[in-house]
Structure 1
């Protein structure tokens, strides 16, 4: 009977989604924008307005700069509720207006945070960070960026499990999981949430936490934009002083040593909850660079867990130092390209030296195909899956059971690619898709493959929510039916990874 109920729910929302067509359908009816403007004067911008252009041009990736009919800039949860009430209504099918929800707008997936012809809800004005009196919780507007959050918390000598790049937005970070300098010790960002304020499809403003709307609270921790518009996160914070971190760059002659060091670091017997490493290989079209972003979240210089990397010579750049989270997150921004075309894709596998050597070899074999791509920055990045903490929807229970609470030797492989000319986009996407398939096959051949995909790194052609497993999907679909019975966030918010689009 339970399986029959889930099947009915799945079919119901799939039919609603199908009736709304796909992401290509746009709704340019200005009446919705005019209606919202009548309720929120001065907070709705139309094409040609200065505020419209400022919002649209502030997306990190060029392809995210779409042309919505209007951009709504709420300053409170009540403003968001008003907007959703106008957009949600009671309509079904193709007349229902499409909209997008923008937090920081950092991801490259088209329409994940913007939309052509519809309405974009830009939360960037909702950006306050308020620390409670006993300094245990930070309440953060979902439009905030992490650089501002860190500057506020550093002044209190507090830490938080947040993004490692200052320009990343808070909004999408938590509902996708959230990787952090502190993840080896404290898990995903979403594991550190105490409460979520969210506007539902009805326009109702509710709080979701361990004791109120607990099913929604769990679903949101990995469930992306499928349940409503999050307006505030209440996040656990902790005492955190200065710590050791930075970046080291090396010539390609060190590649063999780098792969050996990473395999040693990922051995579960060497796990150190204060050590975090991102091993990156960059190809610019003509030359290679190897880099490590490394952090040890205690004020210990050259901690032993990171010495396999810090001892590698020669080094062409070394910024390792004792500093704070604001400084480290701002430094990472400096290494990012400006105004790029972009494409992310990801996979996860269990680490062994032969496998990561094979992964690197496969990536390296593709570089000759991209030598003529304008403005190329072609990246292979290896990093750890965070410590496993129960209570989210990410579906890592099985992976953790096979290893330990730090998910054994699981490695996230990120392919992050940037280029300048849209004429090169088909080549970049084709090469990356094929490479990802080869990497997955290599892991499977060695018996080290994992089904799981990290949502915040996943490409549009990937299915991270499906990778969470059947139990997690069933729970999230049931939550969607309960809190959004008309499937507003399935059929009217086409961007992102949906619960009911794949049968």
Structure 2
């Protein structure tokens, strides 16, 4: 394996001004003092775009998770360009001051996208979408939300491989993989990026593509926030008109039938009809108790597509609701932010209806045994279509290590609550459910090691799940780009999942 591009980037980093972390000295200013100092320095350059948490409560700041909203940062700065991001990094790294970077902010722990005791770099103003003359690509700002991009592309009759939720930012979503309702046609988001504009740990701005800084390009395709700050993505776009979305909820007693029919649809989606999109959600609500709901999608303006007929013939709790709409409309809703505390955990496995049924039984038993229905537990399940595996090899391949015949099944376990006294119970439930679900998957020879970083819980070993070769290569790229460890677990941006 060659690392020519990494060597060149390493030389580029080495040629920059050395920025070393200070050795420990009791007389050094505290992290909070260093952050205060740098906020003062940045305030003169970012007038009107620097906000203090303690002085004005930063009332304009919003973020999805309540735990992150409660995180006390010193200040938040809003750059408008890659050059401004570079300037901010020069100031912060030069004084070894902690920071975090927020795009959409759809993660779940302090320091993921809000800095604990440091500076939060908010990319929200870097949100332009510029469509190419041939309407095959678009350059999208690194602070853009899914709903903004869909809305900007819609007048052209175009779409992209974006998130299911409009509030999700392109940054974390794409750098982590980017699963999509259009995955059966176009793969995941990371394999639809042609170029990344990146501010490296030494504040140098580079463009990474298949042919330029190719190892960085590879690493950004699944490597998360370990290599720099991405300020723009040059992405593939494609014609997409209105599409069908339908939903139907079934009682707990119909779960086995729903899973059986869902697996047939997943198999059809792989090779026969890539317009299909389906996910199901097993959840507890006060209204229905335990139930299973389906979201049915079809990437054509076909009302009630026949592929879902057998599924919808299963007796349900209510009538089928469906309609035709654009992706811009379906992602436009703005849900309240900062209201709930959230935790995710995930498991990937080979197709197995038996595992699916028994896994839901484990979930129900754990939740009821601990009397934790108030955590609003839900398990969301859909396929990783065959197209994702095939397209993961294009342009030099990505870092995820996905390799399977046909499709895989991915599960997102989600808890959502409001009372902070329930935090530990939620964390324990998420950890224990995934551990038991994984044990069951292995016993049925259905386990797959892949851990989707955007759904992962703390403690899940994401990068090991990519396979030894990919893990090693990511680590080598990270060391070459960031020898001082700015973007590591022992550096300045320690949140989310770290290669080292």
Q: TM-score, normalised by structure 2?
A: 0.88
CA apart distance, 1:38 = 3.0
Q: Is the 8 A contact 1:270 1:305 kept in 2?
A: no
Matched, 1:279 2:285: no
Cα deviation for residue 203 of structure 1 reads 1.2
Q: CA deviation at 1:49?
A: 5.0
Aligned-residue offset at 1:63 = 0.5
Aligned to 2:347: 347
Aligned counterpart, 1:63: 67
Task: Calculate the aligned-residue CA RMSD, in Å.
Answer: 2.7
User: Do residues 322 (structure 1) and 320 (structure 2) align?
Assistant: no
Q: Which residue of 2 aligns with 1:383?
A: 382
Which of 38, 42, 47 pairs up with 1:36?
A: 42
Give the Cα separation in 2 of the matches to 1:70 and 1:255.
49
Partner residue of 1:82 out of 79, 82, 87: 87
Deviation at residue 278 of structure 1 after TM alignment: 1.1
Structure 1 residues 359 and 101: CA distance shift in structure 2, 3 A: same
Alignment CA distance shift 1:51-1:126 (3 Å): farther
Deviations 1:455-498 (A, max 9, x none): 00001121212211111112212222222222211111100111
Q: Which residue of 1 aligns with 2:474?
A: 476
1:348–1:450 CA contact under 8 A, matched in 2: yes
CA distance in 1: counterparts of 2:369 and 2:285, whole angstroms: 12
Q: How far does residue 337 in structure 1 lie from its aligned partner after superposition?
A: 8.8
State the partner residue of 2:449.
451
Give the conservation status (yes or no) of the 8 Å contact 2:64–2:339.
Answer: yes
Q: 2:104 maps to what in 1?
A: 104
1:270 Cα shift?
6.3
| Separation (CA, whole Å) in 2 of partners of 1:450 and 1:385 | 12
Contact conserved, 1:104 with 1:167, CA < 8 A, in 2?
yes
**Matched residues in 1 for 2:252 and 2:325: separation?**
28
Question: Which residue in 2 is equivalent to 1:460?
Answer: 458
Distance 1:62 1:247 in 2: 28
Between 319-328 and 243-252, the greater mean CA deviation after superposition: 243-252
1:63-109 CA-partner distances (Å, limit 9, x unpaired): 012111111111111110000011112x6xxxx22110111011213
- List gaps (5 residues or longer) in structure 2: 11-19, 25-29
> Helix, strand or coil for the counterpart of 1:453?
coil
How far is the alpha carbon of 1:27 from its aligned partner?
Answer: 3.9
CA drift of 1:133 comes to 1.6
Q: Match of 1:432, SS?
A: helix
2:304 corresponds in structure 1 to 302
Quote how far apart the aligned CAs of 1:156 are: 0.9
Q: Check conservation: 1:275, 1:306, Cα contact below 8 A.
A: no
Q: 2:348 touches 2:447 (CA, 8 Å); kept in 1?
A: yes
Q: Which position in structure 1 is the counterpart of 2:313?
A: 311
Contact 1:246 1:320 survives alignment (8 Å):
yes
Q: Structure 2 vs 1, CA of residues 267 and 19 (structure 1 numbering), >3 Å: closer, same or farther?
A: farther
1:70 and 1:325 map into 2 onto residues whose CA distance is 35
1:320 partner SS: strand
- Seen in structure 2, the aligned counterparts of structure 1 residues 317 and 457 have a Cα distance that, compared at 3 Å, is farther
Q: Offset at 1:372? A: 5.4
Q: TM-score, normalised by structure 1?
A: 0.87
1:91-490 paired onto structure 2 within 5 Å: 96-267=96-267, 271=271, 272-284=273-285, 287-316=289-318, 318-330=320-332, 339-371=339-371, 374=374, 376-386=375-385, 387-388=388-389, 389=391, 390=393, 391-397=396-402, 399-400=403-404, 403=405, 408-490=406-488
For 2:477 and 2:458, the matched residues in 1 are separated by: 24
Measured against aligned partners, the alpha-carbon deviations of 1:366-419 in whole angstroms (never above 9, x if no partner) come to 221354564x3110111112421214433334x33xx1xxxx231001101101
Partner in structure 2 of residue 13 of structure 1: none
Match of 1:12 in 2: none
